[in-house]
Amino acid sequence: MIDETVAEIEGMQTHSSSVVAVKAARALTELLEREYATVEEFVRDLERNSSVLRRANPSHASLFNVQHSITREVDEDEPEDVASAKAALADAIDRAVERVEDGKDRAASHTAETLEDGMTVLTHDYSSTVNAAIERAVEEGNELSVYVTEARPRLAGRKTARHLAGIDGVEPTLIVDSAAGNYLEECDCVLMGMDCLVGDTLYNRVGTYPIAATAADLDVPMRVTGSGAKLIDSGFVFENDYRPASEVLLEPAEGFAVENPLYDATPIRLLDAIITDDGAMAF
């Protein structure tokens, strides 16, 4: 399970960083089935596998936070034997998963409160928290129009558009990334998920920064939402992920280079609000 989860994270088959964090936490249950002679051997194996999972995507703060919390809680439990160490790990995994999922749920609820009937929203990429917030808003009787960027080159926005198309009360429109500025003047706000917030910088799917800058120029409120597990102050260094050129260009590049960064950096001064499980932080 651990090896398969690492491969999945490295291949970005799962687009939501919260889902990645939960999958990686649950992958550690594999250790509960292994045999260990001592507690020390168990703890070493836990730390090694947790490190492997963290390194599978060093750009995900939620992955870092969840893995760190699991290993810390097992260590703080000070188990006296392997059986109690395994019990401590099982409990730590359950708590970590609950924190992420509960955090997403509450963040979506707070975000839904900002969406009013008749609003037009622009979103970028795919965010399970954004989708949940929109679903909750229309369940309250609101109708929304949503412009969805394709989020090239992996086209995660198409997944968002298809999801929103299945929700009564939502009218989604898929647009190419470069057309965002053309439609922002029609929008009441921009609403996106977030990969992580480190200090005063938002790291999110590439294309977020130009949308945020354009929205600021047009006085369109820019809001991001996600679990508080994605906020981090120290101990974490963001590393961008540069994807294969083949995602951009199928044929070989001859005489030129192809760059395909997965994320970009947006200063929080361009944001109007960050909405987490603790509510909204306005700027």
Tens place of pLDDT per residue across the chain (283 aa): 899 998 888 876 555 778 889 999 999 999 999 999 999 999 999 999 999 999 998 888 889 999 999 999 999 999 999 999 999 999 999 999 999 889 999 999 999 999 999 999 999 999 989 999 999 999 999 999 999 999 999 899 999 999 999 999 999 999 999 999 999 999 999 999 998 999 899 999 999 999 999 999 999 999 999 988 888 877 788 889 898 999 999 999 999 999 999 999 999 999 999 999 999 887 6
Rounded Cα distance, 194 and 60, in Å: 10
User: Domain boundary at 58, 80, 106, which?
Assistant: 106
Residue 260: partners with Cβ closer than 8 Å, 6 or more residues away: 153, 242, 243, 244, 245, 247, 248
Domain count, the chain: 2
DSSP H/E element including 48: helix 39-55
Per the domain annotation, does 195 fall within a domain?
yes
38: buried, middle or exposed (CB in 10 Å: 19+, 13-18, 0-12)?
exposed
Could you tell me if 149 and 122 are in contact, meaning their C-beta atoms sit under 8 angstroms apart? yes
Q: What pLDDT does residue 15 have?
A: 58
Could you tell me if 81 and 34 are in contact, meaning their C-beta atoms sit under 8 angstroms apart? no
Asked whether residue 131 falls in the same domain as residue 155, the answer is yes
User: Domain boundary at 106, 132, 163, which?
Assistant: 106
Rounded Cα distance, 150 and 207, in Å: 10
Q: What pLDDT does residue 233 have?
A: 73
* Residue 4 φ then ψ, to 5°: -65, -40
Asked whether residue 69 falls in the same domain as residue 142, the answer is no
Asked whether residue 9 falls in the same domain as residue 88, the answer is yes
Asked whether residue 99 falls in the same domain as residue 120, the answer is no
Q: What pLDDT does residue 241 have?
A: 87
Asked whether residue 78 falls in the same domain as residue 135, the answer is no
Per the domain annotation, does 62 fall within a domain?
yes
Amino acid at 57: N
Q: What pLDDT does residue 23 have?
A: 93
Start-to-end CA distance of the chain, whole Å, equals 42
Asked whether residue 144 falls in the same domain as residue 89, the answer is no
Asked whether residue 153 falls in the same domain as residue 213, the answer is yes
Per the domain annotation, does 222 fall within a domain?
yes
Per the domain annotation, does 142 fall within a domain?
yes
Asked whether residue 240 falls in the same domain as residue 101, the answer is no
Q: What pLDDT does residue 282 have?
A: 76
Per the domain annotation, does 267 fall within a domain?
yes
Asked whether residue 134 falls in the same domain as residue 251, the answer is yes
Q: From residue 194, give the alpha-carbon distance in Å to each of 118, 231, 244.
A: 25, 9, 22
Q: How many CB atoms are located within 10 Å of the residue 125 CB?
A: 26
Which two three-digit tokens encode residue 7? 């491969």
Q: What pLDDT does residue 30 have?
A: 96
Q: What pLDDT does residue 12 have?
A: 64
Q: Are strands 279-282 and 273-276 parallel, antiparallel or unpaired?
A: antiparallel
Asked whether residue 151 falls in the same domain as residue 270, the answer is yes
Asked whether residue 141 falls in the same domain as residue 267, the answer is yes
User: Domain boundary at 106, 139, 172, which?
Assistant: 106
Rounded Cα distance, 42 and 48, in Å: 10
Asked whether residue 70 falls in the same domain as residue 135, the answer is no
Q: Residue 266 sits in a domain of what CATH number?
A: 3.40.50.10470
Q: What pLDDT does residue 168 have?
A: 97
Q: What letters, b where the CB count within 10 A reaches 16 and e where it falls short, cover 217-237?
A: eeebbbbbbbbbbbbbeeebe
Per the domain annotation, does 240 fall within a domain?
yes
pTM of this structure = 0.86
Q: Which domain holds residue 53?
A: 2-106
DSSP H/E element including 57: none
Q: What pLDDT does residue 180 have?
A: 97
Rounded Cα distance, 200 and 120, in Å: 28
The string of DSSP letters for 65-78 reads HHHHHHHHHHHHH-
Which two three-digit tokens encode residue 77? 């439990």
Per the domain annotation, does 111 fall within a domain?
no
Per the domain annotation, does 37 fall within a domain?
yes
State the alpha helices, DSSP H only, in 140-231.
Answer: 156-165, 180-183, 208-217
